[in-house]
Structure 1
Amino acid sequence: MPPPPRSSKWAVTRKQILVAVLVELVMASASESNAIQLINKGNNGGTVYQTVNINNNYNVATFNTYLGTHSTNAIVDYNAGLIVYQLPYKRICIVSRMNRSTFPSISQLENMVHEENPSLHALHRNYGISRKLVKNLYQLGKPTQAMCGGFTTYWATEFQRLDPSIGGRGCAGVRLLILDVNLCGGISLF
């Protein structure tokens, strides 16, 4: 008798973890890479694993928070000028243009990550997610392709403050070490 089929939910989770690990390995393989790993207690008392990898050769920083089914990843691609958020549990990616005038440089970001208590200088960002799908991941560069391949990917626009009049929209709060993000979009996304 053949073994029972694995649930598709487990297969998706395994694939997501594999992609995150592969992206980390590629980023860590370059000579000018700086990685940090943290283990914290979550709000519900569980363990939260966070990794940050800053690769100066590729001008990319990756953030990963491992929370079981609610794991989240982000890539800050300085060459392409993009910030990409992946919510594997929703099978979506959100891509936004980086506001270079307000977002720290890669060296400033590295300094923030290595501070004794990096969360004291959190980068608060708010994004409005449009219904406009990203149609061609290839034009956004390899880091975005690696992160969002196989996921529905939306464009988002950064806005300064969380607007209480969003009405009819839902927001997901994402915390990635120093990135404290509100992703707001149609209720069907969240």
Structure 2
Amino acid sequence: MKILILAVVLVELLTVSASESNAIQLINKGNNGGTVYQTVNINNHVNVAAFNTYFGTHSTNAIIDYNAGLIVYQIPYKRICVVSRMNRSTFPSISQLENLIHEENPTLHALHRNYGISRKVVKNLYQLGSPAQAMCGGFTTYWATEFQQPVAVESKACADVHLLILNVNLCGGISLF
């Protein structure tokens, strides 16, 4: 009986997820000739977009949580996450983001963002909501501030993160490389 109930719940979840989410997958060549796999999953039911770039040891991920108003970047090879408040006046809505991704040449309308990473560690991931908790659990997580132009904030290192249409410049007082 428990298995039957679990099966019914899973079918319901999958039906809702399939009807209210959108997944895009691309395979490109990287600058050094290697293969880069990129995925974007947009779930309108929970108002979250997840970007993933798989490129060997330098893979990166990002979650845009529209409900919490947060953008979370994960750099797994350094075991860090960077969290910033979303500037809702300049960041596209989830439907606009979906339209940008489906454009024939999305690189023409790429979103460029620049962040200064502080040394301030996020001590309580629960305050960020479940998507950020899931992405950053077990990683050192830092706060960042969005700037119009790249800025050096006690700069030890900068990293350029390319997630399909999302091009990000992360600079700060932490070592990213």
TM-score bin, normalised by smaller chain? 0.7 to 0.9
2:58 to 59, 67, 70: 70
Identity %: 83
How many Å apart are 1:29 and its aligned residue? 3.3
CA distance in 2, matches of 1:132, 1:154: 6
Q: Does 1:147 align with 2:135?
A: yes
CA distance in 2, matches of 1:161, 1:58: 31
CA distance in 1, matches of 2:158, 2:175: 11
Report the counterpart of residue 181 of structure 1 in structure 2. 168
How many Å apart are 1:162 and its aligned residue? 1.3
Deviations 1:153-172 (A, max 9, x none): 00000000013x65743210
Report the counterpart of residue 12 of structure 1 in structure 2. none
- Residues 30 and 57 in structure 1, CA contact (< 8 A), matched pair in contact too: no
- Residues 158 and 169 in structure 2, CA contact (< 8 A), matched pair in contact too: yes
Superposed, 1:7-156 pairs within 5 Å as 29=17, 31-156=19-144
Q: Which runs of 5+ in 1 are unaligned?
A: 1-25
1:161 to 141, 149, 155: 149
Find runs of 4+ consecutive structure 1 residues off by over 2 angstroms. 28-31, 165-169, 187-190
Deviations 1:66-111 (A, max 9, x none): 0011000000000000000000000000000000000000000000
- Code of the aligned partner of 2:165: I
Alignment size in residue pairs:
164
Please give the TM-score of this superposition, normalised by the length of structure 2.
Answer: 0.88
